[in-house]
A and B are shown apart, each in its own frame.
Chain A
Amino acid sequence: MNQKTFVGGVHPADSKHDSDTKPIEACPLPEQLIIPLSQHIGAPAEALVKAGDLVFKGQTIAKASAFVSVPIHASTSGQVIAVEPRLHPCGKMLPAIVIEADGEDHWDPSLEGIDPAQWTGDELRQRISDAGIVGMGGATFPTHVKLSPPEDKLIDTLMINGVECEPYLTADHRLMLEQSDKIMDGIDILRRVLGVKHTIVGIESNKPDAIACMAKAGANHGIQVQALEVKYPQGAEKQLIDALLGREVPSAGLPMDIGVVVQNVATAAAVSDAIRLGRPLVERVVTISGPAVAEAKNLRVRIGTPLSFLVQQCGGNKYEVSKIIMGGPMMGQSQLSLDAPAVRGTSGLLLFGEKDLAKIEAGPCIRCGRCVGACPLHLLPATIASYATLGMFDEAEAHSALDCMECGCCTYICPATRPLVQTLRHAKGGILAKRRRS
């Protein structure tokens, strides 16, 4: 099969072999779940419960506070013991609902599945919104917003992202192998909501088994599966559309501007659950991996499960952990402690020990141009970074610093190990602050 791709990018070692053959296991119920109110892009949800309330699994415990916001549901049945600031994966103390599990794991009896064929697109969209579904590739953008293009934006293609280009992560890979039919069902529902026929599933060619499995499942649905070159960031929305359709999302624009909606495979599976079974988004598949973890696994995890509990399920750590990363190593966040909970955007949890890390002093830029070749957005990272270091934010803006999506290719490839992404982030902050002032 021909492999499509985009211009730029890097080839990090994929490190997926520790977990890509491990079937998804259900993670046991922890004693306590910490469910943050802010787990998505947009306004945080508003808590509907207070300490002492009894809740069912799947019950709405916080409501959406704006259009770009989603409700939050209890991930198990039990008693709310606190609504207070707790450690969030972003490293800050943010409001969260703490539930003590009763061990019964009772679903809310009022939740009922429906047959999507008998409901209109608008009704289905409302259900998706009520189920709290967000983009599960890691960006956590509310799905119903993506499914609500303005009248003047014609959507002709639904793109399903099964690329999983981040090293170590295998959650989507396993999901595609084990639940391809559910994903296809979710795709059918998404197509119905959008009124779109043309659907492409993009999968990196390092997952031939997933490509075969999805192609087989998709054959009856008229869904095309396309193999993509193994290259990071193949799974970034803009790069995926470029590779599959040859269309460029305009700078500062959205995929819907060029008639495309992109959804992750895990999101499609969650949509199927939300409609067919009436079950809101209360769990997701997380890859726990990294050299320091005893046994790498793919776990089906309730939202709010403390990270330390996940590590326990994988046999603990082999040696002392020096760095914890939530998500993939290219765009994931380093964690302050394992006390933080898994949230809707948690695609992976990676543990590293001191010996897996290398600390190098950043040297001067030798103008090798590797960052220029690697940047998938065709920016000049080193040039923008030097402007930013000098506080010349106008020049940085003129070099399109705001287009940077922080994919990490430039820092990954920089032989002088300069923290380019961090500097570009600094530049973006500086430019936006300057705009706000004027």
Chain B
Amino acid sequence: MLSAVLGLGQIGLVAAIALGWASKKFAVDIDARELDINEVLPGVNCGACGYPGCSGYAAAIVEGKAAITLCPPGGGDVVEHIAEIMGLDANVGEPLLAVVLCQGDNRKTTKKYRYLGLHDCNAASKIAGGPKDCPAGCLGLGSCVASCPFEAIEMTADGLAIINRELCTGCGHCIDICPRQVIRMTPARETVHVLCNSHDKGGVVRKYCETGCIGCNICKKTVPEAYKIDKFLARVDYDHAEHAALAIEKCPPQCIRDFKTAYPESSHFRPEQKQPSATLCAGKDLHG
């Protein structure tokens, strides 16, 4: 009994000394500030800052390589915290949210072909530019949904990406992945947007989309300072958008929407259906 206790005690002692020595010898110097910053960062490792994970970003800030405003998911609070830790002035930028500038789902737009294959917008857009007649609208295959680290994007049953403004942090992943550049960063306070991305002429747009902007200028005539028309496509001028909502009623194809009131409606979301991500097989040798 005694020998057992002594034996174990000796092993314990040796191990303790070895561990103690090793922790001194191989200790990695970590700036205390780095740990603090890592604490205040959201910890989702979304990569929006461009560094490998939150700890990578924290290290970069301490080394002075990175600006303190690169964490969109954290928002203003995190910037203020980091500024405090680093002893810098917090210069919080305007919070941004991603918006899908399109409402042409599968019911409202026409298709130039029926696509079958990999369920990915980038893959589909390599085949004759994507299955939609509209060259700029949402393809509805959900690459952005898969890319969003915050599960803020949902795909409607009719194939249109909708961004949940509560969950979106403005990290910009969806913007990088979208082959159509139909997702844009907009100031979070602005809720009125022109939901169209096609620069085609009005007559062309009408052929393929019920609800695309036809460049009719009515919105600009109604609220001149709030809208710009660029190549047959109206855009909200977010710097002077106070009265932009006045044009909503006037827009003939109803492509101006105010997220505060009209869109997206919660009933818009239907349970996700199994998507036909099928391989098309031509030829006699397939009996299927």
Binding site for B on A (CB under 8 A): 12-13, 15, 90-92, 167, 291, 323, 325, 329, 334, 336, 350, 352, 356-362, 411, 414, 417-419, 422-423, 425-426, 429
* 9 A-B pairs with least C-beta separation: A91-B128, A358-B288, A417-B279, A422-B118, A13-B285, A419-B118, A352-B282, A358-B286, A358-B281
Contact B123 A422 (CB under 8 A): yes
Question: B112 on the interface (CB 8 Å rule)?
Answer: yes
Contact partners of B287 in chain A: CB under 8 A? 358
Contact B116 A359 (CB under 8 A): yes
Interface hits, B112-149 → A, CB 8 Å? 112-113, 116-118, 120, 122-123, 126-129
Contact A91 B127 (CB under 8 A): yes
10 A-B contact pairs sorted by A residue (CB < 8 Å): A90-B128, A329-B283, A334-B127, A356-B282, A356-B283, A360-B281, A419-B277, A422-B117, A422-B123, A425-B123
Question: B24 on the interface (CB 8 Å rule)?
Answer: no
- Choice from B113, B118, B277, B280 contacting A357 with Cβ under 8 Å: B280
- Choice from A360, A361, A414, A423 contacting B118 with Cβ under 8 Å: A423
Contact A356 B284 (CB under 8 A): yes
Query: How far is A54 from B133 in the complex, measured between Cα atoms in Å?
Result: 36
Query: How far is A30 from B288 in the complex, measured between Cα atoms in Å?
Result: 39
- Choice from B127, B276, B284, B285 contacting A359 with Cβ under 8 Å: B276
Nearest-CB distance from B106 to chain A (Å)?
17
Interface hits, B210-253 → A, CB 8 Å? none
Contact partners of A13 in chain B: CB under 8 A? 283-285
If A356-B283, A422-B118 touch, whether A361 touches B127 (CB-CB below 8 Å) is: no
Contact A323 B283 (CB under 8 A): no
Contact A362 B113 (CB under 8 A): no
Question: B278 on the interface (CB 8 Å rule)?
Answer: yes
Contact A360 B283 (CB under 8 A): no
Contact A361 B280 (CB under 8 A): no
Query: How far is A15 from B285 in the complex, measured between Cα atoms in Å?
Result: 10
In this complex, what residue of B is CB-closest to A357?
Answer: B282
Interface hits, B89-125 → A, CB 8 Å? 112-113, 116-118, 120, 122-123
Interface hits, B238-279 → A, CB 8 Å? 274, 276-279
In this complex, what residue of B is CB-closest to A13?
Answer: B285
Contact A425 B126 (CB under 8 A): yes
Contact B282 A329 (CB under 8 A): yes
Query: How far is A352 from B126 in the complex, measured between Cα atoms in Å?
Result: 22
Query: How far is A182 from B150 in the complex, measured between Cα atoms in Å?
Result: 65
Query: How far is A339 from B40 in the complex, measured between Cα atoms in Å?
Result: 60
Query: How far is A253 from B52 in the complex, measured between Cα atoms in Å?
Result: 34
Contact A167 B283 (CB under 8 A): yes
Instruction: Sort chain B's interface into a size bin.
Output: 20 to 34
Query: How far is A425 from B112 in the complex, measured between Cα atoms in Å?
Result: 23
Contact A357 B281 (CB under 8 A): yes
Query: How far is A334 from B129 in the complex, measured between Cα atoms in Å?
Result: 13
Main secondary structure of the interface of B (DSSP, over half): loop
Contact A419 B279 (CB under 8 A): yes
Contact B128 A417 (CB under 8 A): no
Interface hits, B50-105 → A, CB 8 Å? none
Further pairs besides A358-B280, A359-B276, A419-B277: 6, Cβ < 8 Å = A291-B284, A336-B112, A357-B282, A361-B276, A419-B117, A423-B118
Contact B118 A359 (CB under 8 A): no
Contact A323 B128 (CB under 8 A): no
Contact A411 B120 (CB under 8 A): no
If A336-B113, A422-B123, A425-B123 touch, whether A361 touches B283 (CB-CB below 8 Å) is: no
Contact partners of A350 in chain B: CB under 8 A? 282
- Choice from A323, A352, A360, A361 contacting B274 with Cβ under 8 Å: A361
Contact partners of A92 in chain B: CB under 8 A? 128-129
If A90-B128, A91-B127, A426-B118 touch, whether A418 touches B279 (CB-CB below 8 Å) is: yes
Contact partners of B126 in chain A: CB under 8 A? 425, 429
Query: How far is A418 from B278 in the complex, measured between Cα atoms in Å?
Result: 8
Contact partners of B123 in chain A: CB under 8 A? 419, 422-423, 425-426
Contact A91 B129 (CB under 8 A): yes
Contact partners of B128 in chain A: CB under 8 A? 90-92, 336
Instruction: Choose among A323, A350, A422 the residue with the greatest number of B CB atoms under 10 Å from its CB.
Output: A422
Query: How far is A359 from B284 in the complex, measured between Cα atoms in Å?
Result: 13
Nearest-CB distance from B103 to chain A (Å)?
25
Query: How far is A360 from B278 in the complex, measured between Cα atoms in Å?
Result: 5
Query: How far is A279 from B280 in the complex, measured between Cα atoms in Å?
Result: 41
Contact B127 A429 (CB under 8 A): no
Nearest-CB distance from A327 to chain B (Å)?
13
Nearest-CB distance from A438 to chain B (Å)?
12
Contact A429 B122 (CB under 8 A): yes
In this complex, what residue of A is CB-closest to B120?
Answer: A426
Nearest-CB distance from A300 to chain B (Å)?
26
Nearest-CB distance from A394 to chain B (Å)?
12
Query: How far is A352 from B116 in the complex, measured between Cα atoms in Å?
Result: 15
In this complex, what residue of B is CB-closest to A411?
Answer: B279
Instruction: Choose among A15, A291, A329, A358 the residue with the greatest number of B CB atoms under 10 Å from its CB.
Output: A358
Query: How far is A325 from B282 in the complex, measured between Cα atoms in Å?
Result: 10
In this complex, what residue of B is CB-closest to A90?
Answer: B128
Contact A361 B278 (CB under 8 A): yes
Nearest-CB distance from B121 to chain A (Å)?
11
Nearest-CB distance from B220 to chain A (Å)?
30
If A91-B129, A422-B118 touch, whether A323 touches B276 (CB-CB below 8 Å) is: no
Contact partners of A334 in chain B: CB under 8 A? 113, 127
Contact partners of A336 in chain B: CB under 8 A? 112-113, 128
Contact A362 B282 (CB under 8 A): no
Nearest-CB distance from B160 to chain A (Å)?
22
Instruction: Choose among B127, B277, B281 the residue with the greatest number of A CB atoms under 10 Å from its CB.
Output: B281
Contact partners of B274 in chain A: CB under 8 A? 361
Instruction: Choose among B122, B128, B285 the residue with the greatest number of A CB atoms under 10 Å from its CB.
Output: B128
Query: How far is A325 from B127 in the complex, measured between Cα atoms in Å?
Result: 13
Instruction: Choose among B126, B129, B277, B283 the residue with the greatest number of A CB atoms under 10 Å from its CB.
Output: B283
If A90-B128, A91-B127 touch, whether A359 touches B283 (CB-CB below 8 Å) is: no
Nearest-CB distance from A252 to chain B (Å)?
22
Contact partners of B118 in chain A: CB under 8 A? 419, 422-423, 426
Contact A361 B129 (CB under 8 A): no
Contact partners of A356 in chain B: CB under 8 A? 282-284
Contact B277 A362 (CB under 8 A): yes
Contact A426 B284 (CB under 8 A): no
Contact partners of A411 in chain B: CB under 8 A? 279
Nearest-CB distance from A420 to chain B (Å)?
9
Nearest-CB distance from A410 to chain B (Å)?
11
Contact partners of B280 in chain A: CB under 8 A? 323, 357-359
